[in-house]
Homo-oligomer: A and B are copies of this chain.
Amino acid sequence: MNFASDNTGPVHPRIMEALARANEGYAMPYGDDALMGQVRARIREIFEAPEAEVHLVATGTAANSLALATMAQPWEAIYCSRLAHIHVDECGAPEFFTGGAKVVLVDEEDARISPEALAAAITEGLERGLHYVQAGAVSLTQVTERGTVYDCASLADLARVAKAHGLPVHMDGARFANALVALGCSPAEMTWKAGIDAVSFGGTKNGCMGVEAVVLFDPAKGRELELRRKRSGHLFSKHRYLSAQMAAYLEGEHWLDTARAANAAAARLAEGLARTPGGRLLHPVEANMLYAELPRAAHRRAVGAGAQYYLSMEELAGGAEEDPIPVRLVTNWATTEAEVDRFLELVS
């Protein structure tokens, strides 16, 4: 019963097997391995983007920051939700990689920003001329930080606002696959057809060991991205082991299947919690992450029985048994129905 994060679970056996297969003889280093050619071709195919630049790194923060650094100048703003991972969870990585761009926060609802709020944030800055940072880029998280998903029309609306000001749009797709299967659309529809210019395409949270692709639909920035990757220590010498993960991840429907499994587990959990006495979902549950309130007593039973998930140990400690305590639960490809049901039983 570990719902702490989708990065606490194991690597999928298929990925492990691919790593073992890749471990034969010699291979060119630094991204010149043959497998990388396959990965590039496969990602271009999946995205219906035959010109896209594709580069691999090992962490989501690296993918986000490298992409953003090619999109925003040091004296520009990166607009994102107040809850965005790039603002809240990367210890200032966008500032570091861009050379000091300003992350400008946009109000959100269920972690989604609206075109109106985005437009207001951009416009407010424009009035200040060169005294304020200039408009630079927009970053959207898909799945959002509260487990909701932007539908393709909403993405397009947001991108339209950005484009009206000449700004490129980045998608933090750490949970790209989970969003995709939730929407049932195509990768192209969820990205460049909606106006997205660059994607951090996550593999790690969905069963890989540590691999993310940066996908740039405008290939003009490809060389810059490669140089920034090298310069930031994110170009792997034994790169074939990144390629192998991503190649196996994208084989057939594997990546979609694992995302479907994680989403299904979250849906089962959500359904159960909604029926739990004192339980309440705090945001719509649209992918594999869930925010809810449960009575203190319910948490005590779950934690006592070994369930793991983010909640405030301080809050757990004191107060009335029936007080609602907020919690985050994340499922992953390996989450079983039995685990979900056992948890629901404990908190009921």
Contact = CB atoms under 8 A, between A and B. Distances in A.
Contacts of A103: 102
A325 interface: no
B96 A231 contact: yes
A49 B273 CA distance: 50
A5 B73 CA distance: 30
A338 interface: no
B10 A227 contact: no
Contacts of A93: 230-233
A186 to B, nearest CB: 28
A91 interface: yes
A154 interface: no
A277 interface: no
Interface residues of A, number: 71
A101 interface: yes
Q: How many copies does the complex hold?
A: 4
B100 A131 contact: no
Given A74-B96, A91-B75, A233 B230 contact: no
A2 B23 contact: no
A258 interface: no
Q: Which of A60, A132, A227, A238 has the most CB of B within 10 A?
A: A238
A120 to B, nearest CB: 14
A112 interface: no
A125 B232 CA distance: 19
A64 B231 CA distance: 12
A133 interface: yes
Nearest to A10: B23
Nearest to A223: B130
A23 B28 contact: no
Contacts of A7: 29, 237-238
A29 B128 CA distance: 14
Given A88-B132, A232-B232, 15 more contacts: A9-B26, A10-B24, A16-B23, A59-B234, A63-B233, A74-B92, A75-B96, A88-B128, A90-B233, A92-B231, A96-B231, A98-B100, A205-B237, A210-B237, A232-B233
